[in-house]
Amino acid sequence: MGQTAEQLIEKKIILANKFEYFFEGDEEFFCKPESGMRLVFDDVSKRLKSIQFTLINIYDNNGAYNGEIPYPFSHSMDRAIVRALMGEPDSAGGPEKIPVIGMVGGYDSYTHKLNEQYPNTEIRLLYLADLRVHALIFERFE
């Protein structure tokens, strides 16, 4: 993380002209280099700020990520496995009902665990109502 979109294009990690905005005037843009993976960039600096993996996709037709998952995570996890692996989260949110989507299982966020491996990175795990991990997010902070 921290590299610009242009640097990643030059290294042939992502393709040019494959960027989208969530909505007009947004402060970030993204690309989907493969199914279930989203790279999010800052609109001003063009730097990669977040890598998002969809492990279980129940919201749209974009599919789930089947590639290699960053260590020490796996494709199939639930909250008990995450907390056994990572300990208590630095912040967490419980289950809640979200309009249109329905019940979600909340999230766990870690900013101090794995800091040597992922410096200046918040690691967030989003849960389904049954507490299986449906998304794994790495987000850079300064």
Distance of CA 117 to the CA centre of its chain: 16
d(CA 115, CA 122): 9
pLDDT at 3 exceeding the cut of 90: no
Q: Contact 43/26 with Cβ under 8 angstroms?
A: yes
Residue with tokens 């796996």: 74
User: Residue 137: its pLDDT value, please?
Assistant: 96
- DSSP for 27-94, written as a single string: SEEEEEEETTEEEEEETTT-BEEEEEEESS--SSSS----SPPPTT--SS-BHHHHHHHH-S-SEEE-
Task: For residue 20, give every residue at least 6 positions away whose Cβ sits within 8 Å of its Cβ, in sequence order, or none.
Answer: 29, 30, 31
The pLDDT tens digits for 14-26 are 887 778 777 787 8
Question: What share of the chain in percent tops pLDDT 70?
Answer: 99
Q: Which amino acid is at 90?
A: D
- pLDDT of 142 over the 80 cut: no
- Number of domain units in the chain: 1
Look up the domain containing 110 and give its range.
Answer: 5-140
Give the per-residue pLDDT at 84. Answer: 96
Question: Structure pTM?
Answer: 0.87
Whether pLDDT at 95 is above 80: yes
Report, as an integer, the average pLDDT of 11-38.
84
In DSSP terms, 31 is beta-bridged to 39
* β partners of residue 112: none
